[in-house]
Structure 1
């Protein structure tokens, strides 16, 4: 069975971080999230992938190529114009198997796919939607189901005390290729607003709860939450770095100066240089090849690869994109969004 990864979204809510980057390529734990998805599904026995791309496809192709480096096979379906979620699936039709998995590649998750597939094989529908339970269903489209798991309707953003359930679409589906006949070609189509309601009318859509971590990382706040959950191991994502002490992960060829204090949890990438008497953490994620000056204070901050921080800078509650240099005159970075530098904070 092949997996189709939907990676063509614009990631507007994460800008400026995703101004020149596909949203699924935003790093999570110092590795592009899309790469984590491939490896997560590979561990569950899926090694053939189609990636639907639109926004900066060359970045994805350059990083992942044909998948050989990761031990998988990758083909690409390129959207020439915006096609929406269903349109992107239809666009990839010729590359898909008769039954296939669809994963919204900008949803952060750690879910088991096998129960979803097993449930799909038990009913006569064309689509099985993986469902997750959320604390506040008023922010989502909530499903109403019968006792067999058939989805009767989606109720969009119901009042909390009026929601029929707390189950929402997790962005993971098993689909039979036959379902694609309901999607028009070369047209922008939403699977949630158009295709699923149409298939529900024909009693072809079922849903089942899938267990495991789930988070839409579409905002700065949620992107931070994903990382804090990762550091707390609520989100048990495999890390390349070695845990040298409880809650302190450090990568290869990293140089740590005299008197550096780590306040866990912290994650430090490869080839990082940290200057004397800097204090890192709690809740700090520092990407590969970053250079941290002396007497720097860095907490509740995510820093992508290649950043340079000058001496005595104080970083709190920040997200920094790739290859940024924090000038010495900028002593305190906090609660500011600066589109010119790509610094996102607060």
Structure 2
């Protein structure tokens, strides 16, 4: 008997794409390109292979983008119709609304935020059995959340209490249904198919699960998943495994052209149309949509560059036009203050930092600025602009403030480029690096010699000065987040370390207080035109100058050699009015600062988005061991460093 192929399919394309915003505010997920072709176009090709000749696409979010695509790119050999939902209906509601389309025929329902390569045959065989199911769902036994329970191809539960355990699977967003499902759909406007399946199973119907071998499936619901899908597809093409059909070989010509123009590509680069990439650019595992411009020496890594965006410097997640960033009123206000049109300005998030703030580079033509949005959970963030102005007036190299609105927690500052000292140190030779440190130390000494009365007269909001209370807070940070939570040390060992740090704090208490940066590490010093500039100075307070100097010279981000460290310390001390005190307290200040840094690394490494700080724990321990070599006693701290 000849197999009957269902000829109808409903493609679900109405979702908001909240997990991948703001990109989905530019393009709805079904229209996001997968190796140069919209995800929905790949799904239509799969439906054609399944023998489908009639397709209904439900629409809601950004519907006009999808309609325009099909108007410009009519589908051959398939009749395509649309079902617009003024209010989103969910999968169940979409199917019920499409009853006129389904009539009495078996039909496919497919998500369009997946990429897939699978045969229709396993579904058709299941529907050809005597105990024909009311639906057959594609399930994956390894990927995804695995919340569906199945045994002997029969689904028993969609919300497993033990996800990821034996006999649990992930629904892949592709299913074959009998029109009999229509009578089990709730009559409410919004509904899911799970409600209908539960009712059908209670009525004795079978819901089948299909988990065939030799298939390809990937969810593209998040930025990382979308990028991973491209990587998996090109790997499948290279080995000619399932999923290879999703790769467009014309992309190879694009990549070759970029190589010839001096662009370095590591991993993969998926390139849209009308893309301009300057020479000396590095692209790693990234997707560039249509009409993108990438400026010279940019570094694009694990990123998506949305339509019409302009990229410069490092891009590690997305670049997108500001008019596509919906519901961001504070950004609109900041752009208005600069006189920049959102439609002509690109936003490039610069990654999470450990200070309750987000940083975004704004690019408008040949101009750029840094947009900062902060939380008042860190009260000192409110005073960044006033402190910057004070420091500028006292000839300290810091960025100019272009706009400040504490009422909406926004500051816009001068863009100092993409070369923090941490990165500069990787490229510069030893001689060039040491010369730069001398410039930094001169600027730091200038900060330390600003008369405190100047800050008082200007009514600058200083943070609480260094004191036994602050030193205790810093070592408590170490105890809570590194020693207890991360290393799980025993109470006796922790108490011994805390006693050592109390001794360190005692050595620092009573030294003359000067205006301190408080976080003088290499990531807070930017190099522009061979000159250093300080950022992240909102923690300005009174304290021992050795603390700032130790923060700089014992920085785990830049592991200076001991010889260079000694020369730089001697240089700063020689310019100080308190040379003897600097030399006596420096190594104690280094231990105190590194204890605080280790506590911060322990805390940040446990938070989503800042896990990378775990990589700095070992260098910080190494630098602390170096400092302890200059101090007698402190045996518990020395034992801690030896344990690493």
Q: Is the 8 A contact 1:16 1:344 kept in 2?
A: no
* 1:133 lines up with 2:141 in the alignment: yes
Candidates 45, 65, 77, aligned match of 1:71: 77
Flag the 1:142–1:95 CA change in 2: closer, same or farther, 3 A: same
Which structure has more RCO (C-alpha within 8 Å, separation ≥ 6)? 1
Q: Is the 8 A contact 1:319 1:343 kept in 2?
A: no
The count of residues paired between Structure 1 and Structure 2 equals 313
SS in 1 for 2:87: coil
What is the match of residue 245 of structure 1?
none
TM-score (norm: length of structure 2): 0.46
Gaps of 5+ in 1: 243-247, 262-275
What is the match of residue 237 of structure 1?
245
Q: Is the 8 A contact 2:315 2:348 kept in 1?
A: no
What is the match of residue 214 of structure 1?
217
Once the two structures are TM-superposed, the CA of residue 8 in structure 1 deviates from its matched residue by 0.9
Supply the distance in 1 between the matched residues of 2:317 and 2:275 (Cα, whole angstroms).
22
Q: Give a deviation string over 1:91-116, Cα, whole Å, max 9, x none.
A: 11111252111111212211112221
Q: Is the 8 A contact 1:65 1:74 kept in 2?
A: no
Flag the 1:179–1:307 CA change in 2: closer, same or farther, 3 A: same
What is the match of residue 152 of structure 1?
156
Flag the 1:200–1:337 CA change in 2: closer, same or farther, 3 A: farther
Aligned pairs (5 A) from 1:305-316: 305-316=290-301
* 1:32 lines up with 2:38 in the alignment: yes
Q: Give a deviation string over 1:39-75, Cα, whole Å, max 9, x none.
A: 1221232221111111122211211249744332101
Once the two structures are TM-superposed, the CA of residue 186 in structure 1 deviates from its matched residue by 5.2
* 1:104 lines up with 2:108 in the alignment: no
What is the match of residue 269 of structure 1?
none
Once the two structures are TM-superposed, the CA of residue 338 in structure 1 deviates from its matched residue by 7.2
Once the two structures are TM-superposed, the CA of residue 153 in structure 1 deviates from its matched residue by 2.1
SS in 1 for 2:158: strand
Supply the distance in 2 between the matched residues of 1:26 and 1:295 (Cα, whole angstroms).
28
Q: Is the 8 A contact 2:233 2:246 kept in 1?
A: no
From the CA coordinates, give the structure whose radius of gyration is larger.
Answer: 2
What is the match of residue 289 of structure 2?
304
Flag the 1:85–1:318 CA change in 2: closer, same or farther, 3 A: same
* 1:117 lines up with 2:121 in the alignment: no
What is the match of residue 87 of structure 1?
93
Q: Give a deviation string over 1:170-195, Cα, whole Å, max 9, x none.
A: 21111111211111345110123x22
SS in 1 for 2:196: helix
Once the two structures are TM-superposed, the CA of residue 255 in structure 1 deviates from its matched residue by 8.9
Flag the 1:337–1:223 CA change in 2: closer, same or farther, 3 A: same
Q: Is the 8 A contact 1:281 1:300 kept in 2?
A: yes
* 1:203 lines up with 2:204 in the alignment: yes
Supply the distance in 2 between the matched residues of 1:203 and 1:171 (Cα, whole angstroms).
24
* 1:256 lines up with 2:262 in the alignment: no
Once the two structures are TM-superposed, the CA of residue 344 in structure 1 deviates from its matched residue by 6.8
TM-score (norm: length of structure 1): 0.82
Q: Is the 8 A contact 2:148 2:155 kept in 1?
A: no
Q: Give a deviation string over 1:234-279, Cα, whole Å, max 9, x none.
A: 631344434xxxxx7125xx9937xx36xxxxxxxxxxxxxx3222
Supply the distance in 2 between the matched residues of 1:238 and 1:135 (Cα, whole angstroms).
19
What is the match of residue 12 of structure 1?
18
Flag the 1:134–1:186 CA change in 2: closer, same or farther, 3 A: same
Once the two structures are TM-superposed, the CA of residue 315 in structure 1 deviates from its matched residue by 1.6
Once the two structures are TM-superposed, the CA of residue 337 in structure 1 deviates from its matched residue by 7.6
What is the match of residue 271 of structure 1?
none
Q: Which deviates the most, 23-32 or 92-101?
A: 92-101
Q: Is the 8 A contact 2:276 2:293 kept in 1?
A: yes
Supply the distance in 1 between the matched residues of 2:115 and 2:107 (Cα, whole angstroms).
20
Q: Give a deviation string over 1:198-225, Cα, whole Å, max 9, x none.
A: 2221232222224411111111111111
What is the match of residue 264 of structure 1?
none
SS in 2 for 1:231: helix
Q: Is the 8 A contact 1:142 1:158 kept in 2?
A: no
Q: Which has the higher strand share?
A: 1
Candidates 227, 230, 234, aligned match of 1:227: 230
Candidates 175, 179, 182, aligned match of 2:181: 179
CA RMSD, 1 decimal: 2.6
Q: Is the 8 A contact 2:15 2:61 kept in 1?
A: yes
Once the two structures are TM-superposed, the CA of residue 141 in structure 1 deviates from its matched residue by 1.7
